[in-house]
Amino acid sequence: MSLFRNATFVLSAHELGDLPPPGAPEVAFAGRSNAGKSSAINALVHHNRLAFVSKTPGRTQLINFFRLSGGALLVDLPGYGYARVPGPTQKHWEGVLSGYLQTRGSLRGLVLVMDVRHPLTSLDETMLAWFRPTGKPVHILLTKADKLSRSVAETTLRRVRSRLAELAPNFSAQLFSALKRTGIEAAEQALGPWLGLAQGGGKEAGADANAPSRIHDARGRKKKAPSRTQEARGRNKKALSRAHEARGRNKKAPS
pLDDT for 196 equals 86
Q: Is residue 3 part of a domain?
A: no
Domain CATH code at residue 43: 3.40.50.300
Q: What is the pLDDT of residue 160?
A: 98
The parent domain of residue 125 ranges over 8-200
Mean pLDDT of the chain: 79
225: in domain = yes
Q: In the chain, pLDDT over 70 holds for what percent of residues?
A: 70
- Examine the domain organization and report whether 193 and 96 are in the same domain: yes
Residues 120, 25 share a domain:
yes
Gap between the Cα atoms of 157 and 149, Å rounded: 12
Domain annotation covers residue 192: yes
pLDDT at residue 147 tops 70: yes
Average pLDDT over residues 37-55: 74
pLDDT (mean) for 228-235: 52
pLDDT of 242 reads 56
User: Helices then strands (H, E): number in the chain?
Assistant: 6, 7
Are residues 25 and 109 in contact, defined by beta-carbon separation less than 8 angstroms? no
Kindly provide the b/e burial profile for residues 132-159, where b requires at least 16 CB atoms within 10 angstroms of the residue's own CB: eeeebbbbbbbbbbbebeeeebeebbee
pLDDT at 85: 66
pLDDT at 92: 81
Instruction: Establish if 205 belongs to a structural domain.
Output: no
For 139, how many CA atoms within 13 A lie in the half-sphere containing its CB?
20
Shared domain for 187 and 236, answered yes or no, is no
| 220: confidence class by pLDDT, cuts 50, 70, 90 | very low
Model confidence band, residue 55 (pLDDT cutoffs 50, 70, 90): very low
pLDDT digits 0-9 by tens, 155-209: 999 999 999 999 999 999 999 999 999 999 999 999 999 998 765 433 333 333 3
Query: 25 and 56 in one domain?
Result: yes
Instruction: Give φ, ψ of 177 to 5 degrees.
Output: -140, 115
Angle at which helices 37-45 and 184-191 cross, to 10°: 90
Indicate whether 187 and 240 sit together in one domain: no
Q: In the prediction, which pLDDT does 58 show?
A: 47
Query: Both 88 and 188 in a single domain?
Result: yes
> With 50 as the cut, is the pLDDT of residue 215 above it?
no
Total domains in the chain come to 2
Instruction: Give per-residue pLDDT as tens, 64-111.
Output: 999 998 899 999 998 887 556 677 777 887 888 889 999 999 999 999
Helix (H) or strand (E) holding 241: helix 202-252
> Do 82 and 169 belong to one domain?
yes
Under 8 Å between Cβ of 115 and 35: yes
Q: Do residue 33 and residue 53 come from a single domain?
A: yes
Q: pTM here?
A: 0.74
1 located within any domain? no
**Has residue 2 been placed in a domain?**
no
Please tell me whether residues 118 and 188 are part of one structural domain: yes
Q: What pLDDT, on the 0 to 100 scale, is given for residue 239?
A: 52
